[in-house]
A and B are shown apart, each in its own frame.
Chain A
């Protein structure tokens, strides 16, 4: 056992409201000598400098790219590739001279697009489809999110419904189109039904996966900090599950958009409006390949735009806050 050398310990700085002062006196003799106080203060300030020095050594300053630089880095490569592909395509058409009705060149497609634009069909189709896709997606989020939460937290429901939901996620939602037509006729309800059947399982499963990946340690911390069930869910589990949930949302949007196109191609007429899928089908019936290709390009472009303008910035923020980097977009 060590010889007791506690006689010079200071207790002036002790917060006596937190502790009974008798027990402090039990442990250490109080010594109010000025020199000792100064020594402790000096030791404390020495420790501060030491710590600051070590902190400076151990932290690496993160240099952020300027927004302009980031824009160039992320936009330039795909645009250059697109230009090269189009040039190669035009080159092929000029050299090989294929039948224009089977292999139209980029210029023919551009002309078709201009024609679709000038008679107003393109704008109408884009707006109709975007509106339906957007509304359908929002409804799917509103249903899929609480469903996912229930599945994540209620074990019995998860055992019962989990496999079914995973099955639905694999089932192509086009398979629902015939049934939906029989149930709802040729109306918008058919289109929305197909979108929901495609998107809800993805969103719910994404949220479940996100919640499952929350480190148990974070829940323990919540418990230790005194969070009740509701606070644990809203302040800790949900924010921690955001990356998985967001991945589910992205997939949900992709499924919405695809289901919508499929539904629009198959169901035409009735009270269903004129969407991009309908335009595609109409051009096929007219055997107008350049209009078909133009429509496909528009559908593709909308998918890319939604990803770039809407999902990518949110995802970048979400991941960067957690010290993660989204792949590809840096």
Chain B
């Protein structure tokens, strides 16, 4: 796989109806294996649409997309766990659909839940878990898919600040341990700077990639650190400019 990019997006455009507005306009992007890319933008910039296209849930109107590992794991804003299954069974379902033999599913699910520090909650059902715990089970489930590429659509947007801060650390750790390629969609500038190696700012209507920043990957950077603040301020200014363009 050396030299091959994890995700290759070539001139992708998207309209939901043939006469409808252009949601994505000629987006091209190359993501290398092991990259942590944050897609940042105001509402309506098509960042979720782009993610769904990468996930194969939607098709581009024109252009092409190649995911080197064939397919991608996806995590949504709401954990989307199956409410009638325990945490462990939710993870096992992903293993089952991946073709893991029955005998190994249980122990593998335990290991994956242990990765997100939830081995003790394996027999609990989603309604017995807090929002943060549910998202961690969802993370374990997407790790169970064993795909090189993990797509995340505002997975922490509905959580309280303390939980979100911990989950940033958790995700950062999991990323460093597993070497996944992560594409993370958010409208939270600080979150993007805290997590990403590459932060891509998208403009709205039509969605284009307006700018890109490289962030040095210090393992211990915090969301409240001055570097994060400085870069966040810079990106926010530009984000506001992009939003202002839509005023007229």
Contact = CB atoms under 8 A, between A and B. Distances in A.
Contacts of B29: none
Contacts of B76: 217, 220-221
A47 B128 contact: no
Given A27-B217, A28-B217, A226-B71, A217 B33 contact: no
Interface in A213-241: 217-218, 220-221, 223-227, 231, 235-236, 239-240
B238 to A, nearest CB: 14
Interface residues of A, number: 54
A196 B102 CA distance: 40
Interface string B160-172: 0011001001100
Contacts of A16: 179
A317 to B, nearest CB: 10
B145 interface: yes
Given A16-B179, A19-B148, A27-B34, A217 B166 contact: no
A18 interface: yes
Interface of A: 1-6, 8-11, 13-16, 18-20, 22-24, 26-28, 40, 43-44, 47-48, 50-52, 54-55, 58-59, 62, 217-218, 220-221, 223-227, 231, 235-236, 239-240, 242, 321-323
A323 B125 contact: yes
Contact of A24 (B127, B179, B216): B179
Interface residues of B, number: 59
A223 B93 CA distance: 12
Given A18-B180, A54-B132, 4 more contacts: A27-B197, A47-B169, A54-B162, A240-B82
Contacts of B55: 224
A224 B73 contact: yes
Interface in B149-180: 162-163, 166, 169-170, 173, 176-180
Contacts of A51: 117, 166, 170
Given A4-B216, A47-B166, A47-B170, A323 B80 contact: no
Q: Which of A62, A225, A231 has the most CB of B within 10 A?
A: A225
A217 B82 CA distance: 10
Given A13-B177, A22-B2, A55 B215 contact: no
A19 B4 CA distance: 12
A221 B121 CA distance: 22
A113 to B, nearest CB: 43
A15 B177 contact: yes
Contact of B133 (A6, A40, A59, A321): A59
Given A59-B129, A225-B97, A19 B80 contact: no
Contacts of B178: 14-15, 18
Given A2-B215, A19-B148, A220 B57 contact: yes
20 contacts: A1-B231, A5-B216, A6-B217, A9-B217, A9-B218, A11-B176, A19-B33, A23-B2, A27-B217, A47-B169, A48-B117, A54-B166, A55-B132, A58-B132, A58-B133, A225-B94, A226-B71, A226-B145, A236-B82, A323-B128
B21 to A, nearest CB: 23
A220 B94 CA distance: 13
B214 interface: yes
B173 A323 contact: no
A55 B169 contact: no
Contact of B166 (A44, A50, A321): A50
Given A59-B129, A218-B80, A226-B145, A3 B216 contact: yes
B125 A321 contact: yes
Nearest to A217: B80
B83 interface: yes
Residue of A26, A231, A322 with most partner-chain B CB within 10 A: A322
Nearest to A11: B176
Interface centre among A44, A51, A220, A236 (most CB of B within 10 A): A51
B219 interface: yes
Given A1-B213, A47-B166, A54-B163, A225 B93 contact: yes
Contacts of B2: 20, 22-23
Contacts of B93: 225, 235
B126 interface: yes
Contacts of B127: 322-323
Contacts of A231: 97
A239 to B, nearest CB: 6
